[in-house]
Amino acid sequence: MITTRRQWLALVALTLVWGVNWPMMKFSLRELSPLYFRALTMSGGALLLLTWYRLRGVHMGLPRAAWGPLLLLALPNIFGWHLFSILGVQELASGRAATLGFTMPIWTVLLASAFFGERLHPRALLGMACAGAAVALLVAHEVTTLAGRPLGVLWMQLAAVSWALGTILMRRSALKLPTETITVWMMGVSAIGFWAVAGWLEPWPAWQFTPPMWAALLWGAAVNYGVAQVIWFGLARAMPPQASTFAIMAVPLVGTASAALVVGEVPGWMDWAAAGFIMAAIASALLPRRQNARA
């Protein structure tokens, strides 16, 4: 499969967007509570994607029989991941939250092995060791630091497990609908869920934000939930799996590095070491194994 220069540039842009989005979320939480932040940006993103794909001729209808399976997919894939991750970002440094969230590939391997009988290969065990080292480093720092918040580590691991479970369910889903349709509807129903939960648990916002905050909300809706999804679906069809794996590997590194510019968080050696361990873990879990040369 030939990868063009334009595709590689799009992949780099996507990686930067995903990485920078972590400190952008942290910035947004200075003026807006986490659940209303999710509800607002996810609603905007779902509406933008719905409009875009309908203009592109993608069938966006959802048969009545698909509602149950779609809700089952949306709960871990969108609602669970975005709920626990925003709670984790609220507690932790954004780069640290990104690193912990991307333990997802390892949890995917573990859950698939535990519940669906998939074999654990030696590389998966290496990935588990790397991910465990990353989590241990960051947990140790949160526990031993006076202002540490170990609860944030728990939130991010719940987010990673939720995302991993959702990934497994997506692989095994029998829904005969375009991926774009499934994603937009999952975002739509999850956004409704966030509005409901936010109204129950959080006070109604004043909606009087500073211009940088409005820019951050626009970023969340239009760029993170909108443009990034469009780029991702285009690349997922056109590029080999190794390319998307390398993009995922780089996200924690970009999140850690960009946090200093966006929210003034200066990562320490533990953050860089943990990001390195997570990159190794993702590579172990996602990069394809070499095929035996003998037939």
Q: Determine phi and psi for 279, rounding to 5 degrees.
A: -60, -40
Per residue in 241-294, pLDDT (tens digit) is 556 666 677 888 888 889 988 988 888 888 888 888 888 877 776 666 654 433
Cβ proximity of 43 and 195 under 8 Å: yes
What pLDDT, on a 0 to 100 scale, did the predictor assign at position 196?
Answer: 97
CA distances, 172 to each of 99, 107, 162, 222, 249 (Å): 27, 16, 16, 30, 24
pLDDT bin (cut points 50, 70, 90) of residue 194 is very high
DSSP states of 135-184: HHHHHHHHHHSTT--HHHHHHHHHHHHHHHHHHHHHHT----S-HHHHHH
Q: Where are the domains of the chain?
A: 5-286
pLDDT bin (cut points 50, 70, 90) of residue 240 is low
DSSP states of 65-126: GGHHHHHHHHIIIIIIHHHHHHHHHHHS-HHHHHHHHTTHHHHHHHHHHHHH-----HHHHH
Cβ proximity of 23 and 90 under 8 Å: no
Q: Tell me what percent of the residues of the chain surpass a pLDDT of 70.
A: 89
What pLDDT, on a 0 to 100 scale, did the predictor assign at position 54?
Answer: 94
pLDDT bin (cut points 50, 70, 90) of residue 134 is confident
Q: Is the pLDDT of residue 146 over 80?
A: no
Report the C-alpha gap between 128 and 126 in whole angstroms.
Answer: 5
- What pTM did the predictor assign? 0.87
Least confident among 5-19, 48-62, 77-91: 5-19
**Burial of 169 per CB tally in 10 Å (0-12, 13-18, 19+):** middle
